[in-house]
């Protein structure tokens, strides 16, 4: 098992990888104690059977620069293959400010190819590679050195089997003419806004039960302070204060350190020092905010006039169409999407793109009374009216 620990070694590997149509990539990281993921290991594999075709890259070794890898990411002649790429891409975006192009996500491809919803890597290894996968090292501490042989073997398996999985799924997609479906789905993965949380928008992540302008203004300022503090110090937002404590703060509206000491949910560390000072300033700023400037949660969906019978019919149609197409239902439309359609909304992802071809067109025809559904043995027939 080869571990690359220098920039020169990584550059040499990436140069060789450019001679191939694709490279498979995975990472091991920790995030329990930080805001941003701590990258601990990178696994790379190019097509081939030799020992140096699949390698480990140790970003914790010395002054190793990942720039050769980012140059490979920018090379559009080589497909970069991941499984469930979102967390990996977040790490690389914040570190290198770039996304792998072109990108292929085998989890998305597997859903398009009928392997079920959010299918795991281990399942694909069993079903496509026909081999078991040892996951015993999954939750080990990847920041500790030296890595054990078991850890290295586990890590390499995440990219070596991925080669067979990618080739199988890519061939399946090409045979069915569905590669563009996957390309549509992964577009969101290569948008910076998918990963960057602006502190002034952090309030949207906090669940509340009130629309009070004053309350929401304080929630917004408390969430903004917490996000900015967590980002600047690279600590989990829950280490600053958790959501339930944030809501308690917004309700109690403390004016001084003594008031903070009376709260039930606030962590002891947050009752003093920089966090306490930030909380009091955020509460004061929220109370001074004009009502018209206070954020308001989007409650529009709660007021939708959903036709329950039509929503049920849409669910039957979705199940029928997804089974015929061999595509996971949730990839086509969520339960919320169906309720929106049944309430008359038309700006819904399930009605456009490849989803429109598979489900959306008939969904609209069903809503317009142009087709009906009827039981036909164990199947459902679509009847033109």
What CATH number should be reported for the domain holding residue 321?
1.10.150.80
Are 219 and 281 contained in the same domain?
Answer: yes
Structure tokens at 177: 């003419």
Instruction: Provide the pLDDT for residue 151.
Output: 95
Instruction: Provide the pLDDT for residue 118.
Output: 82
Instruction: Provide the pLDDT for residue 300.
Output: 61
Q: Is 311 exposed, middle or buried (0-12, 13-18, 19+ CB in 10 A)?
A: middle
CA distances from 328 to 58, 84, 119, 182, 352 (A): 36, 15, 10, 13, 17
Are 48 and 178 contained in the same domain?
Answer: yes
DSSP classification of residue 148: P
Are 19 and 123 contained in the same domain?
Answer: yes
Q: Which domain holds residue 269?
A: 199-293
Residue 42 phi, psi dihedral angles, 5° rounding: -125, 135
CA distances from 189 to 21, 30, 58, 281, 379 (A): 21, 20, 25, 36, 36
CA pair distance 83, 121, nearest whole angstrom: 7
Are 8 and 154 contained in the same domain?
Answer: yes
Are 178 and 247 contained in the same domain?
Answer: no
Instruction: Provide the pLDDT for residue 299.
Output: 65
Q: List, in sequence order, every residue forming a beta bridge with 383; answer none if it has no partner.
A: 372
Q: If DSSP codes are grouped into helix, strand and coil, which group holds residue 205?
A: helix
**183 Cβ partners below 8 Å, 6+ apart?**
none
CA pair distance 220, 212, nearest whole angstrom: 12
Are 75 and 88 contained in the same domain?
Answer: yes
Are 234 and 267 contained in the same domain?
Answer: yes
Maximum pairwise Cα distance, the chain? 71
Structure tokens at 198: 């602006």
If the chain, 385 residues long, is cut into consecutive pieces of 10 residues, what is the mean pLDDT of each piece? 96 98 97 95 94 95 93 98 97 96 97 90 95 82 94 95 98 95 93 95 91 94 98 96 97 96 94 97 97 82 80 96 93 94 93 95 96 88 90
Domain count, the chain: 3
């Amino acid at each position: 098992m080869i571990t690359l620990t220098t920039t020169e070694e990584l550059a040499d590997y990436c140069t060789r990888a450019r001679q191939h149509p694709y490279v498979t990539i995975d990472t091991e990281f920790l995030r329990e104690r930080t805001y941003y993921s701590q990258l601990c290991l990178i696994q790379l594999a190019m097509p081939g059977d030799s020992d140096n075709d699949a390698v480990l890259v140790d970003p914790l070794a010395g002054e190793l620069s990942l720039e050769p890898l980012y140059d490979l990411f920018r090379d559009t002649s080589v497909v970069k293959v991941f499984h469930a790429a979102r967390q990996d891409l977040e790490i690389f975006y914040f570190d290198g400010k770039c996304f792998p192009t072109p990108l292929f996500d085998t989890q998305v491809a597997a859903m398009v190819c009928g392997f079920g919803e959010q299918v795991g890597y281990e399942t694909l290894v069993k079903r496509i590679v026909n081999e078991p996968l040892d996951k015993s090292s999954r939750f080990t501490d990847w920041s500790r050195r030296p890595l054990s042989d078991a850890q290295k073997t586990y890590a390499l398996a995440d990219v070596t089997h991925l080669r067979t999985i990618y080739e199988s799924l890519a061939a399946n997609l090409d045979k069915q003419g569905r590669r563009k479906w996957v390309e549509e789905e992964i577009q969101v993965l290569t948008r910076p806004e998918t990963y960057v949380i602006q502190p002034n928008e952090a309030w949207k992540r906090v669940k509340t039960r009130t629309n009070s302008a004053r309350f929401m203004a304080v929630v917004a300022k408390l969430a903004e302070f917490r996000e900015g503090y967590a980002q600047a110090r690279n600590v989990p937002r829950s280490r600053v204060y958790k959501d339930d404590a944030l809501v308690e703060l917004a309700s109690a509206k403390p004016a001084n350190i003594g008031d903070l000491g009376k709260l039930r949910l606030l962590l002891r560390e947050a009752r003093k020092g920089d966090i306490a000072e930030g909380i009091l300033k955020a509460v004061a700023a929220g109370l001074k905010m004009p009502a018209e400037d206070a954020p308001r949660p989007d409650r529009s969906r709660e007021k939708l006039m959903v036709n329950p019978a039509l929503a049920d019919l849409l669910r039957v149609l979705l199940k029928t169409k997804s089974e015929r197409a061999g595509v996971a239902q949730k990839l086509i439309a969520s339960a919320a999407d169906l309720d929106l359609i049944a309430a008359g909304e038309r700006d819904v992802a399930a009605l456009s793109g490849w989803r429109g071809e598979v489900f959306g067109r008939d969904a609209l025809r069903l809503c317009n009374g142009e087709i009906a559904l009827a039981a036909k043995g164990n199947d459902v027939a679509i009847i033109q009216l």
